[in-house]
Structure 1
Amino acid sequence: MDIRQLNYFLTIADMQNYSHAAKILYVSQPALKQNISKMEEELHTQLFIYNNHHLQLTKTGQELYDRAKPLVKEFNQLIDDFKNQDRTVKTPLYIGVTFLTMLEYMDQISRFIRRNQQVDVHFIQEGSIKLQHDLVDGKIDVALLSFPQFEQDIIIDPLADESEGYTAYVVAPKSHPLAGYKELSFKDLKNSNIVSLSTNFVLGEFVKQNCEKYNYSQQVILVHDDFELILHSLNQLDAISILPKELMTNSTVKDLAWIPLTDSKNTYRHGIAYRKKLSQNASVIRQFIDHIKN
C-alpha cells in the first residue's frame, strides 16, 4: 500500500461514488475499483459496502479513513513545501570579478553559494577599473578586484594574505629582441609595438599613462579586453604586452617570454570592494564580504 492508493481511497470515501472520484482524480473507474480490491486483499478486510446506491465505509474502512487522512494531508503538505522552495524569492547578489580573482576565489565563492541557497548569485567579469565604475553606478553589489582605487564613493578592503594579487610582466615573442632580458623597465619598451589591455583594467591604465609619459603612444597598435586574444596576437604582430604574470600558467599560448617589469607599483594586491552606502540587500553583501575575508 502506498500514498497514491490511500489518496484514491480517501477521495472515493469522500465522494461516496466511483464515478465522481474518477473525475476528480483523472483516473478510470475500473482502475479505482481495482485499487480498492488490492487494498482489501492486502488488509484482509472489506472497506466499502453499497447502501442506497452510495459507497459507505465499513467499520474497518472508517478506521483506515481516520488514520490515513492526516497522513496523506501531511505528505501532500511536505510535497508542496519542497515545490515552494524553488518558488521562494531569492535575494539577488551581483558579484563583479576579474579573470584572475575568479580563478583565485572560485572555491570560496562556490562554498558561499552552497551554504546560502536563498541567494541568487550573478557574476559580471570585467577589469578592475570598470568594476569600480559599475559599483558606483549600482550595476553590481560587490567586487573582487585589484588596487589601486579610482572611485571615491566605494571602499576597497585589502584581503589578508599579502601574496594575493598579481605582478606585472612584459610578455614578448621568444624571437623578439627584448625576449632575452632578465628584467625590463618601461623605458626599455621604446621602439617596440605594444598590444595593451584597455583602460577598463589597471594594467591598461598603467600602460596608457606611461606611454603618454615617455611619448610611446604611437607604438600602441592594438587595445583589447581579452587576455587570450592579446597573447595570440603578439607573435603575429611582433609586439609586446604588459600582463599579469599569473596568466602564464593559465594560457594555452606558448613560445612567449615572460620578463619581470621593474617599474614601481608593478605588483597589485587584490581587495574586496563595495559602495559606502550599501543597497537594500546590505545583509547579504556583508555576509559575502565576511565569507571572503574569513
Structure 2
Amino acid sequence: MFVSSNLKCFIVLAREKSLKKASEILFVTSSPISRRIKLFEDELGYKLFSRSDHDFTLTKKGLELYEKIMPYYMKISEIEASFSQKNNSLSIKRSLMIGVENLNHFLFNILIKKRKKTESISYCSSDASRSLDSLLSGEVQAVISHREIDENGITAMEFYSEPVCYLQANSTERYKVSDMKKIPIIIPRNGFHEHYIKTAHMKILNACPNAQVVIVDDIDNYLFLIKSGDAIGLMSESMVLFYKNKNCFNSELNYTIEHSFPALKTYIYCLKECEKNLKMAMDSILSESEHGDAGCVRGN
C-alpha cells in the first residue's frame, strides 16, 4: 500500500537471498522480481546484488542501503498494518494475505489463474507447522491447505477439489494396479499431504499386496522412468496436466483417473469472525466451479 513494488522486491530478496524463495513469498514468478531489481538498480545508479546460479548476495552498496532503509521500511509496514486494521471493513476486500501450504508449481498456476479475478489478494508460502499460529496472530487472513483442520473458532471452505490419477506411458496404459507387481508406483510428497500419502499407500497395497510403492520428495526427477514405462506416477489431475504440458509428453504419456481414491480436496481456513469479510473478498474465487463445487462451508 505505502511501499513501492521495487523496494518491496529489494527488501524480500535481500532478506531471503534466493530468487525462488522471494518468488514464493511475493507470489510472483522470478522474472518480474528480476525486472524490478534491475529497474531499482538503474534508478540508483549502482548494483545492489552479486548474482550466482541460485543465490543473490548484497553488494557493499546494497548492504549499506538495506541497513539504512530497513528501520523506515519496518515503520511504514507497521503504519500500513495499523491503517488496514482501522479500516478493516474497507481494506480487507482490497488487500488480503493468504498463506499457502505446500506451494508448488501446479497449485501456483491455479492460484495465478484465479488471481486475475481478484488482484487485491496476495499469497505467500506457509509452513504447515506454523500456519495456525500465523492465522491466529493475524499475520495472514486465511490459509490454503490440503489438510483437514478441526479447531475451535476456525471456519473452513472447500476451495478446490480434483481427482487423483495414474500418469503412465502408453505401453503400460492397459495395466491395472493389481497387475503392477514389477512396475513401481511413485507417490510425490510435493503433491499430497502426509495423511493422503498414507491412505493412497494402503489402497495400492490392498489392491496389490506385492506392489512396489516409492515415496519421493519431487516426482520431476523420475518422469523419465514414467516416460519409458519403468514406473507409474500417482498424482492429482492438475499435477498430471502441468507435467504433461511442461514436458510436451502428450503423445507419450496418458493418465487415468483412479476412482477408488478419494478426491484431493483443498480448503481455505479463516477465523470464524473473519468469515464474512473473507467471503466478500474471495467471492469471485469461491463462486467458481472449474473442478468442483467451491464455497461449501463447514464451521467448527
TM-score of the pair, normalised by structure 2: 0.47
TM-score of the pair, normalised by structure 1: 0.47
In terms of Rg, which structure is larger? 1
